[in-house]
Amino acid sequence: MKTYKILVIGPFSAGKTTFVRTLCEKYIDTDMKLREPIGEKTKTTVALDFGVVELGEKRVRLYGAPGQKFFFFMWEVLSKGLDGYILLIDGENPNALLEAEDVYRFFRVMLPKTPHVIAVNKFGHPGFSLDLRDVRIALSVPEDVPIKLVDARDYDSALSVVKLIVESIESRRVKEEAK
């Protein structure tokens, strides 16, 4: 069985923990209570979320990274042996692109050739909504990197993003082997 290590990254409250919990029947999280609630959020990830998704003969180990800036040191730790990553962005937050920019820049510099997917979560609700074209322009996302809408609470929606990153990883490997 082929195994993949995928990191789910993004700013605070983008939906990383929800994404992992939605996909994985059994999961581990390191959520801790916030000193002060931020909006409706009362907990935050302080180390990682972890779960496994089976895709036929493929096993995907999902690691959710903390999004708060003072836990960013975990990004490098969790990136060891990484096959790909998913950048999750809160599509309802007007500051989402600014918040995601630092996260994305960190990974693009540290892992410039690593396959990745951008997933815009929390879309389609009344109020502010990010346009996928704006995301590509604002974050300078290369044309070969997929950008997709996702509902982290919906199994099929979240699974489609995992399938997309696995396809991107496999496609990159085929191209590298052909060289």
DSSP 16-69: HHHHHHHH-SSEEEEEEEEEEEETTEEEEEEEEEEEEEEETTEEEEEEEPP-SG
Closest Cα to residue 72, out of 95, 44, 51, 52?
A: 44
**Measured between alpha carbons, how far is residue 126 from residues 19, 26, 37, 123 in Å?**
21, 33, 23, 9
Coil, strand or helix: which one is 88? Answer: strand
Percent of the chain with pLDDT over 70: 91
**Measured between alpha carbons, how far is residue 146 from residues 109, 110, 162 in Å?**
18, 19, 12
- pLDDT tens digits, residue range 87-102? 999 888 878 888 899 9
CA distance 76 to 35: 26
The stretch 119-136 carries a mean pLDDT of 78
The stretch 164-178 carries a mean pLDDT of 89
Q: What is the architecture, at CATH level 2, of domain 2-178?
A: 3-Layer(aba) Sandwich (3.40)
Containing 175, the helix (H) or strand (E) segment is helix 155-178
- pLDDT tens digits, residue range 33-45? 767 767 777 676 7
